[in-house]
Amino acid sequence: MTDAVGSIDMPDAQDEAPESRKTRKGGKRGKKGPLKRLAIFYRQIVAELRKVVWPSRNQLTTYTTVVIIFVVIMIGLVTVIDYGLSNAAKYVFG
């Protein structure tokens, strides 16, 4: 069975990898020492942190307030459910 993309029985030519090709172990990283790799890693971390859009002080205050209010509401909800279930268990089991 053949369709426009190919079939399971007859794979496309580009899907087949030549077996005579050798793969290199390590690549560029394999030639560098551990301290050099660690330095590159930290440089990449700093580069990524520079891309971050940091919130303003006003946004940070708003986000923090919303999170604290949400946590307080969830604590209250879990407390009410826990109290109700414990009283139900006492009523059922004596």
Burial class (CB in 10 A: 0-12, 13-18, 19+), 18: exposed
User: pLDDT digit of tens for each residue in the chain (94 aa)?
Assistant: 555 555 556 555 555 555 556 665 655 555 778 899 999 999 999 999 999 999 999 999 999 999 999 999 999 999 999 999 999 999 999 8
Q: What predicted TM-score, i.e. pTM, was given to this entire model?
A: 0.50
Burial class (CB in 10 A: 0-12, 13-18, 19+), 64: exposed
